[in-house]
Chain A
Amino acid sequence: MMYDANYFRRFIEIFAKYLEENKEYLTRLDAAIGDGDHGINMDRGAKAALDRLSSTNPKTPGEIMRTVGMALLSSVGGAAGPLYGTIFMRMSLAFGNRDKIDDKNLATALEQALLGIKGLGKAEVGDKTMVDVWEPVVNFLKENIENGRTLPEICEEVVALAEERMKATIPLQARKGRASYLGERSIGHQDPGATSSYYFFRSLCEAIGGR
């Protein structure tokens, strides 16, 4: 499949809608093990991204992702700002000035985004962070796309895997970020960054057919 600017706009709109609908939920998750602002921060960031998209009207997938990345950097406020900012900036760089992105380009861009957040936050799988969702999902996507499958064909599996990995953060002890200050008391709570990452991949899939 080819993914054009309209696809990426749809993706951002769906992601923003999930963040708005789940603002209280994400904030509650963060209040349990962090500083209780992830939902509010991500919702504010997503709204700033939508505003910048409508005021600057970028034309290519790369420009769209760059616009969103800069808006998240300036508006999210917490650690998620640089992390999600990096995801979108890295994807923008990987897309370059192409008008249409194919599945291989998309997989490469997501892999670059994963490397970006791992480099920035130095988190590994098992640390109870967004990487717990990102790494297995990106590896699954990459492997399947290399074997000739496309995102629309594997969407259900991608969403199921993201959800499973998100829930798998519950029994983990946090080793990165503010939650790590809690030590063993972070066990038993779902990680808010892993949760917003689940919405990211779910939105990427739902943007294919519209929500």
Chain B
Amino acid sequence: MLSILILSHSPDIARGLKEMCLQMISGDVTIEAVGGTKEGNLGIDAELVLNKLQELMANSDGVVVLGDIGSTILAAKNALNMLGFPANVCIADAPLVEGAVVASVEASLGSPLQEVVKKAEEVKSLNKL
């Protein structure tokens, strides 16, 4: 079973996107979201990202991390550095909303970690019109 970790600079985006992803899934996948500072303002709590990632690693076979702007990606990379680059965690280089939805669906279908990351990253070249 895989986990998806959504990171946003905005607590509202994190909460809303988790809700969207949960609505899309049919199978066994854990979706968690971290957004905003401790006080609930725009920003990211990089220590909470580290703790949440450790928790998901312990309770699933792999974790796909997705973030929006710079600070969230730096928080994710920092957590990976501190955990010694665990093999079962990948940051997907994908747009956050579409990437997280696609990753959630793909993970709920039982695809392996690398396949989920690949599908999420393919969203970058998705045409909407």
| Residues on the A chain within 8 Å of B47, using CB | 70, 73-74
Contact assessment for B38 and A82 in the assembled complex, using a CB-CB cutoff below 8 Å = no
Binding site for A on B (CB under 8 A): 37-38, 41-48, 50, 69-71, 74-75, 77-78, 81-82
Asked, given contacts A86-B81, A120-B77, whether A78 binds B71 with beta carbons under 8 Å apart, the answer is yes
Contact of A82 among B37, B42, B78 (CB under 8 A): B78
Closest to A48 in B: B38
Contact assessment for A178 and B70 in the assembled complex, using a CB-CB cutoff below 8 Å = yes
16 further A-B contacts with Cβ under 8 Å, apart from A82-B71, A85-B78, A89-B82, are: A35-B42, A37-B42, A73-B45, A73-B46, A74-B38, A74-B48, A77-B38, A77-B45, A79-B70, A81-B43, A81-B45, A81-B71, A85-B46, A86-B81, A120-B81, A178-B70
Contact of B77 among A37, A41, A70, A82 (CB under 8 A): A82
Asked, given contacts A82-B78, A120-B78, whether A77 binds B37 with beta carbons under 8 Å apart, the answer is yes
User: Which 6 pairs across A and B sit closest by C-beta, in order of nearness?
Assistant: A77-B43, A74-B47, A82-B78, A82-B74, A79-B71, A77-B37
Complex: how many Å from CA A173 to CA B75? Answer: 25
Binding site for B on A (CB under 8 A): 35, 37, 41, 70, 73-79, 81-83, 85-86, 89, 116, 119-121, 176-178
Complex: how many Å from CA A163 to CA B43? Answer: 28
Can you list 28 A-B pairs, Cβ within 8 angstroms, ordered by A? Answer: A35-B42, A41-B43, A73-B45, A73-B50, A73-B78, A74-B38, A74-B45, A75-B37, A76-B43, A76-B46, A77-B37, A77-B38, A77-B43, A77-B44, A77-B45, A77-B71, A78-B71, A79-B71, A81-B43, A81-B44, A81-B45, A81-B71, A82-B71, A82-B74, A83-B74, A85-B46, A85-B78, A177-B70
Contact of B75 among A37, A75, A82 (CB under 8 A): A82
Complex: how many Å from CA A86 to CA B74? Answer: 10
Chain A CB within 10 A, most for which of B37, B46, B75: B46
Instruction: Give, as a whole number of angstroms, the nearest-CB distance from A151 to chain B.
Output: 27
Closest to A117 in B: B74
